[in-house]
Amino acid sequence: MRTCVVPEFSTIDKYYWILLLLLFLFAAGCAAKSPEDLLSRHGIAHQNLTKLSACVSYACRHKEITYITEEEWAEVVEVMGADKEDSASKERKRIGVSIGLLERIIGPKVGTAQNKGRNHDSPGKRQLDCIADTVNTTTYLLLMANNGLMNFHEVAAPVKRGLLNFNFPHHSAAIKDTHAHIVYVVDPWFHDNGHPAEVVPLELWMTGYKPD
């Protein structure tokens, strides 16, 4: 389950959606105020390359402790490397690609390598929804930012859209352009594990954005 956008009603796990809707309404007035606040709400302390928690089920109900080796992190550093004519837009593209790369690095270690995009009926323990994806993506973004791989952006508080926007409930990680002060959503939920994340302006995403 990767975006909390509704596929076909005939194939939806209705109980999951009822629970998600109730959780969304309950949390409407108490959204995470920062990326660190999001992790704390899911029982996750400081993350680093040698020890980090990864969500492995819907709503991040289950987590696994894992790690990233120096060799694996070197791949991320290479992808995030700036060129001589760098720009914020180029960095956003690299961020999307890096999220996919980190999913391919972490997936085989915690059992989410076969995670499918969007939401599905009767999800297994290793299938993610948009909440789990938001937590994992926020972790990856913080690792990149804290290790000096972002020059034009900072990690922003997670975002959500839903009934107030005439959409089904959906959550995502986010970044903020530190020069233009524009928030962009970093959303891998639409795709299978390892695919580059969608990185689009929050304003567009709030209209119900989904890739073609």
Segment 133-151, tens digit of pLDDT: 999 999 999 999 999 999 9
**pLDDT given at position 38:** 95
**pLDDT given at position 120:** 64
In a domain, 187, yes or no: yes
In a domain, 81, yes or no: yes
In a domain, 2, yes or no: no
In a domain, 211, yes or no: no
**pLDDT given at position 10:** 44
Q: What is the total count of domains within the chain?
A: 1
Domain membership of residue 119 as a residue range: 9-205
Q: pLDDT-based confidence at 74, cuts 50/70/90?
A: very high
What type of residue sits at position 180? Answer: A
**pLDDT given at position 146:** 96
Output the pTM of the full model.
0.85
- Taking the alpha carbons at both ends of the chain, their separation in whole angstroms is 17
| Range name among 12-21, 36-45, 70-79, 100-109 with the lowest pLDDT average | 12-21
Q: In this model, does residue 11 exceed pLDDT 80?
A: no
What is the residue-averaged pLDDT of the chain?
87
pLDDT per residue over 145-178, tens digit each? 999 999 999 999 999 998 665 567 899 999 999 9
**pLDDT given at position 169:** 84
**pLDDT given at position 193:** 95
Mean pLDDT of 76-88: 91
In a domain, 1, yes or no: no
